Chains A and B, each alone.
Chain A
């Protein structure tokens, strides 16, 4: 494959001296990849994200963006190109109206007014929040705030977008809408990293899965290879995706021929059954 967009070498991070939150993370991320980051609570996913965005500086280890090493000096460049949607939207929203909030990132990029305005409107349309534009954020519900937080980052148009548990607060309709947005962003060749506890989502959406456990990456591969590896599933206390279980059960009971094509969502499953 081509050159990695982001390369992380042996990253260590400590919140306090005796316990490592990240303990030797090495990973290469390539342009346009769709990566799901999974792992139990406290495994270090959020910490990892904050490190690659340069918000936290690692104790030890290096990060390369497009082959150039990230130092204090090149940090603004890194932040311009890597956007992060925080786990807790309340910690991200600073302005007192939704529109102003979304314009904060683009304004910091020193873009001309018209461009900022265009991006703000685009992002609001993407996230289906155009009607809230003039409201103060504290009159929005949790899920609506989350969508504002996502629009914040979309408006900055970074190459790499990191979502820290985006689906956690969304209702089913908006979760589906979020997946459509992710699809669109993918089509625009954005590199996407998403942490999630929803294994079904990870299984159907991602093309690569990173499994975190106690500050280390214990598995890195296609969703299928990761979830079929019982040892990894057990160690990271994951559950297997329903779709995978159903398929294997059907094959084992001879109800379905084992063709090696694993359905990832209901649509693919229906096609398989229909045959």
Chain B
């Protein structure tokens, strides 16, 4: 869960599309893609369940061929069936790719006083070295992580957060937590927008002209944001009270019946994957 959320907030800030597509809130593009996915009418519980099972299987199987199959099918589901353009899918994937590559570099490379290993590099007081074996292991690790991430993206790129919350609620997640997630999610966007507006207005009045004014403006915006957060919390509560809020959050949740065809297809796929793994293990 937490991984998934960090991914959401990262995308919004760090990646830029080359094409004309841009949106105004500076919010998370993942959520935006999810709203427009063509597989949204599938039962959300099914989608979440399937991608979690796939994720677990990828980790437990721990086999590069299985990982490859999962990477390919996940891409096919999200791009082929979900209708996300490949370029966007790729740009979303590049965020974890960076982390994965950096992380596995640390796993692959070792350190020694003697010049051992298949490749080594002398650094003042010792050797950084690589072996074929460690290289291969790292490659497998990358594939595994990559497979797990793309399995997760089946869910992330087709399930907007409100659907996710309702799945969590149905899965008996404590309602306090689900409600908090709801509020926090909505609130992040409001604060981001307020911050953005203040920043733009400061910029248009030359508030970021040189270093000193930048610091000053930043401080002003930060402290103002804090006050606005408090005020908004009040206004929010008032508006909820005005609509008869009595301490429990209740929303109408749409029921998409799980399509038996999807269930059967998923069952067949998972069984096939399982037998494939058993055969090559």
Contacts and interface: CB of A to CB of B under 8 A. Distances in A.
B252 A113 contact: yes
Contacts of A88: 235
Given A94-B186, A95-B186, A134-B35, A108 B245 contact: yes
Interface stretch (A98-106, A190-198, A257-265): A98-106
Interface string B25-51: 101000110010000100000000000
B244 A79 contact: yes
Contacts of A50: 238, 242
B185 A96 contact: yes
A138 B254 contact: no
B182 A96 contact: yes
Q: How would you classify the secondary structure of chain A's contact residues: helix, strand, loop or mixed?
A: helix
B30 to A, nearest CB: 12
Contacts of B27: 138-139
A92 interface: yes
A107 B250 contact: yes
A113 B250 CA distance: 11
A136 B190 contact: no
Name the interface size band of chain A.
35 or more
Contacts of B186: 93-96, 137-138
B170 interface: no
Given A95-B186, A138-B25, A138-B193, A100 B244 contact: no
Interface in B174-208: 182-183, 185-186, 189-190, 193
Contact of A105 (B23, B244, B249): B244
Interface stretch (B87-95, B129-137, B157-165): B157-165
A107 B32 CA distance: 27
A152 B245 CA distance: 13
A136 B35 contact: yes
B53 interface: no
A109 interface: yes
Contacts of B241: 54-55, 79
A67 interface: no
Interface string A166-187: 0000000000000000000000
Contacts of B182: 94-96
Contacts of B246: 76, 108
Contacts of A43: none
B272 interface: no
B51 to A, nearest CB: 20
B133 to A, nearest CB: 48
Contacts of A116: 252
B256 to A, nearest CB: 11
Nearest to B250: A107
A50 B240 CA distance: 12
Contacts of B190: 90, 138
B14 interface: no
A94 B242 contact: no
Contact of B244 (A101, A108, A135): A108
A196 to B, nearest CB: 20
B276 interface: no
Interface in A44-101: 50, 53-56, 76, 79-80, 83-84, 86, 88, 90-97, 99-101
B239 A92 contact: yes
Nearest to A82: B242
Q: Which one of A105, A108, A117 has the greatest number of beta carbons of chain B within 10 Å?
A: A108
B23 A139 contact: yes
Nearest to A105: B243
Q: Which one of B23, B183, B241 has the greatest number of beta carbons of chain A within 10 Å?
A: B241
B262 interface: no
A120 interface: yes
Contacts of A80: 244
B25 A100 contact: no
B239 A86 contact: yes
A96 B243 contact: no
Nearest to B233: A91
Contacts of B210: none
Contacts of B253: 100
B250 A108 contact: yes
Nearest to B163: A97
B119 interface: no
A43 B182 CA distance: 35
Given A97-B162, A101-B251, A136-B189, 15 more contacts: A50-B238, A50-B242, A79-B241, A80-B244, A96-B182, A104-B243, A105-B244, A106-B252, A107-B251, A108-B244, A108-B250, A135-B35, A136-B35, A137-B186, A139-B32
12 contacts: A50-B238, A55-B241, A79-B244, A80-B244, A96-B160, A100-B253, A106-B252, A136-B160, A136-B189, A138-B27, A138-B189, A156-B243
